[in-house]
Chain A
Amino acid sequence: MLRTIIAGVRARTARLLLSSVAIMLGVAFVTGTLVLGDGITEGMRDEFAKSARGVDLSMSTTGEGPQAETGISQATLDKVRSTPGVQGADLRTVVGAAMLTQSGKAKPATVGPLASTPELREYDLKEGRYPTSPTEAAVDVRTLATAKVSIGQQITLLDKQDGKHPFTIVGTFAQGANSMSLAGSEHFVVLPEVMSGLTDELHAYGLVAKAAPGVTQEQLVADVKKAVGEQGYTFRTGEQLTTETLAQISSRSSEMTQVLLVFALIALVVAAMVIYNTFTILVAQRTRELALMRCVGASRGQVFGSVMAEAFVMGLFASVIGLLGGLGVSALMQVVIGAVSDDNIVVRLPLAPTTVLAAFAVGVLITVVAAFLPAHKATKVAPIAALRAQLDSHEEVARTSKVRIAFALLLGLAGVGVVAFGMNLDEEQALLVTGTGTMLLLAMVVTLGPVLVGPVNRVLGVLPRALFGVPAKLASGNAGRNPKRTAATTAALMIGVTIVSLVTVVATSAKETANAEVDSRFPADYTVTSSVGSRTLPQGMAAQLAAVPEVAKVAPVAAFGVPGPADGGAYLMATTPEMIGDLVKPKATSGAITGLKSGDVAVNSRFAERSGLAVGSTLTLGADATKRDLKVVAVVEGLDASGLVTLDTLRAFKPADDGFDSIMVKLRDGVTAEAGRTAVEKVTDPSPIAVIDSAAETKAQLNTQVDQVLAFIWALIGLAVVIALFGIANTLTLSVLERTRESALLRALGLTKGQLRLMLVVESVLMAVMGAAIGLVLGIGFGGLLVKGMSSDSFPIAFAVPYGQIAVMLLAAVVAAMVAAAMPARRAGRTSVVAGMAEA
């Protein structure tokens, strides 16, 4: 028997290779996502581990006592340093500064002190050296690239008062972080004593110490506790710190891995369908051969075994290649992410045993499981089938369709039920439950596939028939001749397209809604903001802008969080009283915002709900000296803060803060956007941090973000779609082989080579469009359901269909199908008529 199997595999090498491609891609995708997830985790681990490495004791403030406000003081550090058993200690702190770029505009930057104890540094030197004088700085290698500076050059940092601090760059360091694990501002390291010059409120959030040789971490903690007192501090040993930080990462990165796994699952389902389909066809084509084996005395078990053994060998072989491919996929994705985020990244390819296990589980198990049904079917082949001339599957479809419809009905009912239930839930839950419901409905359509193929094929066949005549007619007949096969082939693509269009519809809807909101919320033409989050715009700028002749009105906006007396607190936004209801006008759901006076507040509806506020009630904010009662005069929607107050109300909570977060500018009627921008720029140009946003630019920024996420998802599902297209090419190739005689007959009767090729291309396109069209209809419908489910009265999302993108998808499906048909068509065209007729 083994010899027969090996001979069989040899004889069908080409077909098996082709079929293996589906498995390889499936395995590659699953391992690719797993490796990517592990890579991200490893990146984060490295980064976090650096903050804990070398540390024997870590001290942080608890939020009580004076140090909660001021951070850990220099005096405390000195006390720790002089404690016996301490080899070295350093404060951990960062200062938000601004880095002056070549364009003269500032970019947010983070500056940290160079730890005096080398073991306590959270970063590694890459090139040059660490700063040794107050005018020197080391820079993150990534900053070096983005800021386009090099060692030996000068860089200028700005403090809060726009004071300039020039530094010479003497070295670069790596933080062990990559772009995925650490979001972007620029990083610098300077001598500790320089830090206080950059800010007047240096806040050390932590203190780390290294133990002298022979001193245990516990001993060290006990000694330091004694020296500085326990009040207001949390102490951890280095080990505790490490475990805690690592726990933090795994929970964060596992979320990412989960998302990736969902996509891997989709790819898996698609790959499984393609594999299943391939084996079904392979067995169908070998019916005569298997029957002959039965004729000459092979038992059912032997026939079953031979098909399964073949599947096993194929799965094993494909898994190995797929695993290697997966590493490539992962590396590629990391490079792409790096390119998109404009960052030089470290490509990590950790190959965990679980990944290898998953690869083989997927490749071998799925193949064997997918082959089970066909193998079982093979045992049912009657020996006389060897003698029968033609095999047709029509009756088979008719026989199973009742069971099929009943099962589909069940899935449909369950799906509708779950969707209906999801509709009544809140945002995130609605997304999950409604999403599950739509997947049930998708399963229903997949189950109904063979029944749907006939009618859909007839409808779709109309256009090509009208365009191409007889070859298209033949193609349409071919696409519909074996409904099960066509359904299984197109289902893979349908699933992929459904999910792509669903995600796209949801994202587009969210985007459009956000855009509409930006429009309604920004009645101003321009908004001047600070490019550095921690830095506000100077007080005088509002007046300067108001004095520009082209400017009609100006609304300076300030915002910050104000603590509450007991718990919570509120994030308040403020502008001048005249501008409330003018340039700043959130929609009031009760009360009115016009005429909002000092001491009044208009609260966000969600905040109102959470804090039990309504028009007329009182909101108490502030602590001690600044404590104050605010009168709620309105409940509003579409406010990016908990409450809206007048500027003087806000300033009373934090008199030291006198800058603005943004200044809205409305141009006089008749002033062109260009002239207006030039006029505004005259005021903002001297300030390095002031940048001008227009509503259009804000939208563009927002849309870029959504589009980036979407592009990532497209790339992920794109792989599933590629697998599905391979499925089509596969089916087509196998069908062409199966129909060699038929093709020869057609050629004998007068079908030209070109027409024969056209026939196959049309057949391929028909199958692809069948899958894509149903997928699009489902995806858009499901997207609509999800949008409806997530949307609520307080947060309505408008359903928007990206027609352009959908047209692109359909077109892509058509083109891809043509490409998929290229090989089989070439092959069919090459076979000579006589040779074709001779084929058994």
Chain B
Amino acid sequence: MGQSMSAVASETSRVGTQAAVAANGLVKVYGKGDTAVRALGGVSVEFQAGRFTAIMGPSGSGKSTLMHCLAGLDSSDGGSVHIGGTEITGLNDKDLTKLRRDRVGFVFQAFNLLPTLSAEQNILLGLELAGRKADKQWFDTIVDVLGLRDRLKHKPSELSGGQQQRVACARALVARPDVVFADEPTGNLDSRSGAEVLDFLRMSVRKLGQTVIMVTHDPVAASYADRVVLLADGHLAGEIQNPTADSVLSALKHLGA
């Protein structure tokens, strides 16, 4: 099934030869001296535009660290990261912030929303920070696809966990970023709500040509992706194209997770 879907994706203009996000020899070291932890030991990986990639690996393997460095949330100690052709490794805080604002979307595991803002305000927050207007049609499409229409005026505390994550997805997509990063977006959800969110992410890639990079522990969640990148001990440990839950599980067993 992966084959036919990627054929649809390749029709959109976003898919090119150029990678949406690329890391080259990425190194991240926490701490100093004896207690130093080499969380990323020279990772080189490319993420094609218009594709849905899952990053997997045992706990402590450096998944979150990789994502933070790729997204410009954290600085790296070696190597380089490109987002949409821009090298971000040398950027200062202000430019990084601008880059995130304009070209990156985020979905975190929890605490995705500001409690003082309504669902709608939360969705539009990123655009507002950038001083941009939302594309009304695009906004409506997203809201309707995610089934948030009658929840727009609600505060996060009045939404279920699944609804909160869907609002976060809507916010990530409404600005049409170059890439959406999701760190265990379904980690706090039951399997049905999780499936809804994953369905939406996959749909946004297949139908809308988004680029999504997702960190997950869950082989079932990973099976929604086009490709799985495996990490172990801060190094690339292989990858699976068109994964299924079973193929992911066996690969992970191989890694000893």
Contact = CB atoms under 8 A, between A and B. Distances in A.
Nearest to A389: B110
Contacts of B131: 469
B106 interface: yes
B117 interface: yes
Contact of A748 (B73, B98, B116, B128): B73
Q: Among B74, B93, B129, B171, find the residue whose CB has the most chain A CB atoms closer than 10 A.
A: B129
Interface string A812-840: 00000000000000000000111001000
B111 A750 contact: no
A348 B131 CA distance: 62
> How extensive is the interface on chain B, given as a class?
20 to 34
A746 interface: yes
A741 interface: yes
Contact of A834 (B68, B115, B156): B68
Q: Among A473, A481, A745, A755, find the residue whose CB has the most chain B CB atoms closer than 10 A.
A: A745
Given A470-B128, A833-B73, A834-B73, A746 B114 contact: yes
Contacts of A481: 115-116
A392 interface: yes
A750 B94 contact: no
A83 interface: no
A477 interface: yes
A752 B94 contact: yes
A392 B94 contact: no
B257 interface: no
A476 to B, nearest CB: 9
Given A477-B116, A478-B116, A832-B74, A750 B93 contact: no
Q: Among A746, A750, A832, find the residue whose CB has the most chain B CB atoms closer than 10 A.
A: A750
Contacts of A392: 115, 157
Interface in B71-113: 71, 73-74, 93-94, 97-98, 100-102, 106, 108, 110-112
A749 B125 contact: yes
Given A477-B116, A749-B101, A741 B111 contact: yes
B108 A745 contact: yes
A798 interface: no
Given A834-B73, A834-B74, A749 B116 contact: no
A583 to B, nearest CB: 70
Interface string B154-192: 001100000000000001000000000000000000000
Interface string B191-218: 0000000000000000000000000000
A749 B129 contact: yes
Contacts of A755: 129
Contacts of A749: 100-101, 106, 125-126, 129, 171
A230 interface: no
Nearest to B172: A749
A745 B112 contact: yes
B114 A390 contact: no
Would you call the interface of chain B mostly helix, strand, loop, or mixed?
A: helix
A741 B101 CA distance: 18
Given A750-B126, A833-B73, A742 B114 contact: yes
Would you call the interface of chain A mostly helix, strand, loop, or mixed?
A: helix
A750 B157 contact: no
Given A390-B157, A477-B117, A834-B68, A750 B129 contact: yes
Contacts, number: 74
A388 to B, nearest CB: 11
A470 B129 contact: yes
Given A389-B110, A470-B129, A748 B115 contact: no
Nearest to B117: A477
Interface in B112-142: 112, 114-117, 125-126, 128-131
Interface string A384-395: 000001101010
A651 interface: no
A481 B117 CA distance: 10
Contacts of A746: 114
Nearest to A394: B157
A481 B155 CA distance: 12
Contact of A742 (B74, B94, B111, B157): B111
Q: Among B73, B97, B102, B110, find the residue whose CB has the most chain A CB atoms closer than 10 A.
A: B97
Contacts of A474: 114, 116
Contacts of A477: 114, 116-117
Nearest to A392: B157
A750 B115 contact: no
A811 B156 CA distance: 37
A126 interface: no
Report, nearest first, the 5 A-B pairs whose CB atoms are least far apart: A750-B101, A477-B116, A750-B129, A834-B74, A752-B97
25 contacts: A389-B111, A390-B157, A392-B115, A392-B157, A470-B128, A473-B128, A477-B114, A477-B117, A478-B116, A746-B114, A747-B97, A748-B106, A749-B100, A749-B106, A749-B129, A750-B97, A750-B98, A750-B101, A752-B98, A753-B93, A753-B94, A754-B94, A833-B73, A834-B73, A837-B108
Given A478-B116, A750-B126, A750-B130, 8 more contacts: A389-B110, A750-B98, A751-B129, A752-B93, A752-B94, A753-B94, A833-B73, A834-B68
Interface of B: 68, 71, 73-74, 93-94, 97-98, 100-102, 106, 108, 110-112, 114-117, 125-126, 128-131, 156-157, 171
